[in-house]
Structure 1
């Protein structure tokens, strides 16, 4: 309960991906490895494979909408503190750095748009509960590290690796977006009998007056290896 009270203010998530609010990365930051996605297929193939969305009240669930069959792994006694994040389906590999909670209650993120931040101290990936990684969606000059996050589908893998080389694999179960003030805090940050890794970024229209996006996109995943 204390955790959820502490995290309640994170609904704003002003620091988690509305890139227009943050400073541009310094020149000494290595660029992310985010390759171009494959060229579009024929019209028929594109129609079959396109990212689809379906509305459930105020939020969107990104397709294909069927839970992937997966052998979930038992949570570890102690998880890992990841140094790298790899998402093969969107050709993304980037650096992970620990971030905390700002005095105003918002979750902090790296100042660099090519890195992601893991909430710490908090649940570590692999432990029972929900670890949370946030990243920018865009910035003044274009896409940021989590720009393609919405393209993930159930069954895709999310890998985290620590400095010793230990790697954990999580499998995406669903991808959803929520109005900024209606994100399911308990589902994203709360306790669980399984080991979850949830990825957060911004989505929706950008409000210049408020300097933030209207929605929050969340990728939910579970430990499988």
Structure 2
């Protein structure tokens, strides 16, 4: 390694002109030559204003996220402007089979409680029905959300928290990433979950799970 570094160092010396002793000294001009050179007029300097061209793509500024709230909020209303959704939120628990429960009403959503509240550090989780016997349910259009869309959660006092969608993913029902959905990670996150895919009449469940991952921005 040392020999390689030494070779590189010597190579850099040659490139940078550090071996000037191997170059002959430049000849000095005679008095006549100096007079001739002094008579040569230098061309005028013309300044050209060239437009500034960015080199490569611009790097977006990293957004400054608000810190998590100590106690979060007890949510009562969920609004998602991009899909024209406005509905009530009620607390739900965990079923005997270990799955998160959902409200009995198909036009409401449920937040897992006790668990992380919206705005707190970690991941608050809200679930809702995808459809029912007569047609679409509250979270039927959740699949239309795109990164950058906003999700708003408010409490009884009118305090509103705004979350921004990071990604929307669909998983086979048996492979839903529970550790990601309920993850106790840095920052304040809100994850929305619902069913999706083909309905299996024999199992009485949909083939997939749709998850919207979002984080607090305001």
Larger relative helix fraction: 2
Check if 1:77 corresponds to 2:70. yes
What secondary structure sits across from 2:89 in the alignment? Answer: strand
Structure 1 position 144, deviation (Å): 0.2
**Alignment deviations for residues 45-93 of structure 1 (CA, whole Å, 9 cap, x no partner):** xxxxxxxxxxxxxxxxxxxxxx997432211111001000000000000
Residue among 157, 167, 188 paired with 1:164: 157
**Alignment deviations for residues 102-141 of structure 1 (CA, whole Å, 9 cap, x no partner):** 2222211110000000000000000000000000000000
Greater relative contact order, per chain length (Cα 8 Å cut-off, separation 6+): 1
Residue among 99, 115, 118 paired with 1:122: 115
Name stretches of at least 5 consecutive residues in structure 1 with no aligned partner.
1-66
- 1:150 is aligned to 143
For the 8 Å contact 1:68–1:154, the answer to whether it is kept is: no
For the 8 Å contact 1:68–1:155, the answer to whether it is kept is: no
List, as ranges, runs of 4+ consecutive aligned residues in structure 1 with deviation greater than 6 Å: none
Whole-angstrom CA distance in 2 between matches of 1:133 and 1:207: 23
**1:99-138 paired onto structure 2 within 5 Å:** 99-138=92-131
Structure 1 residues 68 and 123: alpha-carbon distance in aligned structure 2, compared to 1, 3 A threshold: farther
Residue among 216, 219, 224 paired with 2:217: 224
- 1:181 is aligned to 174
What secondary structure sits across from 1:181 in the alignment? Answer: helix
What is the aligned-residue RMSD (CA, Å)? Answer: 1.5
Structure with max Cα Rg: 2
For the 8 Å contact 1:68–1:173, the answer to whether it is kept is: no
Count residues with an aligned counterpart: 159
Check if 1:213 corresponds to 2:206. yes
Residue among 174, 185, 188 paired with 1:192: 185
Structure 1 position 181, deviation (Å): 0.7
